[in-house]
Amino acid sequence: MNKRQKEAMEKLTGIAASIYSDLDSGEIPTMILPLRNKRNIEFDPMSQVWKYGSLRTTRTAKTTQGATTMLRTAYTTEFINEMIREEKSSTLREMYYISEGWNNARFHTQDESNLLAEDLETMTHGMREDFKLRPEESGAHVYGNITFRTQTKKGMKDINAMDDVSEQGFAVPYSVENETFQIKSQDVRFVMALETGGMYARLIENGFPDQARCALIHLSGQPARSTRRLIKRLNEENGLPVVVFTDGDPWSFRIFASIAYGAIKTAHISDYLATPTAQFIGITASDILNYNLPTDDLSDKDVGALHAELSDPRFSDEFWDSEIHAMLEMGKKAEQQALAKYGLDYVTDTYLPDKLTQLGMM
Partner 1 sequence: MGIKEAVDNSLDACEEAGILPDIVVRISKTGDEEYKVSIEDNGPGILHRAMPNVFGRLLYGSRFHALRQSRGQQGIGISATVMYANISTGRPAHIASRIEGEDEVAWEMDISVDTKTNRPIVKNERAFPWVGKEHGTLVEYVTKGKYMTGRQSIFEYLRETAIVNPHARVEFHDPDGKTWTFERATETMPPKSKEIKPHPQGMEIGDMMAYSYVSEQKNVKDFLVRDFCRVTPRLADEMTKAAEIDPKSDPKELGREGSVRLVQAISGVKIMDPPSDCLSPIGDALIKKGLMHILDGLRPEYYAAPVTRPPKTANGNPFCIEAGIVYGGEIPADSQVMIMRFANRVPLLYQQGADIITKAISEFDWRRYGLDQRGGKGIPFGPAIILVHVASTKVPFTSEGKEAIAAIPEIYDEIQLALRTVARSLKSHLNKKARKAKTHEKFEIVQEILPDLAKKVSEQLGRPIPDIGRTVTKIMNVVWIEPETVKDEGGKKKPDSKRFRYTVYNYTIRPHTFMVHAHLPVEAVPPSVREGEMFDSMNEEGKVQWKVSGIQPSTSAVIEFELRGDMADTFDPDDVYVSGINPVLVMGAEALPGDWGIKGMEITESDDDLVAQSDDSEEEPEGLEEEEFEKEDDE
Site map (CB under 8 A) of partner 1, residues 55-74, x = contact? --xxxxxxxxxxxxxxx--x
Q: Under the criterion CB under 8 A, does residue 290 sit at the interface with partner 1?
A: no
- Minimum separation from the CB atom of position 186 to partner 1 (A): 28
Residue number with CB closer to partner 1 (241 or 262): 262
Instruction: Tell me whether residue 206 is exposed, middle or buried, using C-beta atoms within 10 angstroms of its C-beta: 0 to 12, 13 to 18, 19 or more.
Output: middle
The answer to whether residue 27 forms part of the interface with partner 1 (CB under 8 A) is yes
Of the candidates 110, 189, 251, 326, which one interacts with partner 1 according to CB under 8 A? 251
Region for residue 360 given its phi and psi (left: phi exceeds 0; alpha: psi -120 to 50; beta: otherwise): left
Please, which of residues 170-209 interact with partner 1 by CB under 8 A?
none
Task: Given the residues 20, 96, 97, 346, select the one marked as catalytic.
Answer: 97
**Binding of partner 1 at residue 254 (CB under 8 A)?**
yes
Strand partners, 149: 158, 182
Output the 3-class SS for 183-236: EEEECCCEEEEECCHHHHHHHHHCCHHHHHCEEEEECCCCCCHHHHHHHHHHHH
User: How many distinct helices (H) and strands (E) make up the chain?
Assistant: 14, 17
Q: Are strands 181-186 and 146-152 parallel, antiparallel or unpaired?
A: antiparallel
How far, in Å, CA of 197 to CA of 139, rounded? 10
Binding residue count for partner 1, defined by CB under 8 A: 57
Residue 77 binding partner 1, by CB under 8 A = yes
105 binds partner 1 (CB under 8 A): yes
| 108 sits near partner 1 (criterion: CB under 8 A) | no
Nearest to partner 1 of 9, 188 (CB atom): 9
How many Å from the N-terminal Cα to the C-terminal Cα in the chain?
A: 46
What type of residue sits at position 137?
A: E
Q: What is the DSSP string of 8-42?
A: HHHHHHHHHHHHHHHHHTTPPPEEEEE--SGGGEE
Does position 331 interact with partner 1 (CB under 8 A)? The reply is no
34 binds partner 1 (CB under 8 A): no
Give, as ranges, the residues between 135 and 154 that touch partner 1 (CB under 8 A): none
Q: Are 188 and 146 in contact (CB under 8 A)?
A: yes
Q: Does 98 bind partner 1 (CB under 8 A)?
A: no
Q: Under the criterion CB under 8 A, does residue 43 sit at the interface with partner 1?
A: no
The catalytic site residues sit at: 97
Task: Catalog residues that contact partner 1 under the rule CB under 8 A.
Answer: 13, 16-17, 19-20, 22-24, 26-29, 35-38, 57-71, 74-75, 77-78, 81, 103-105, 111, 115, 221-222, 249, 251-252, 254-255, 258, 263-265, 296, 299, 301-302, 308
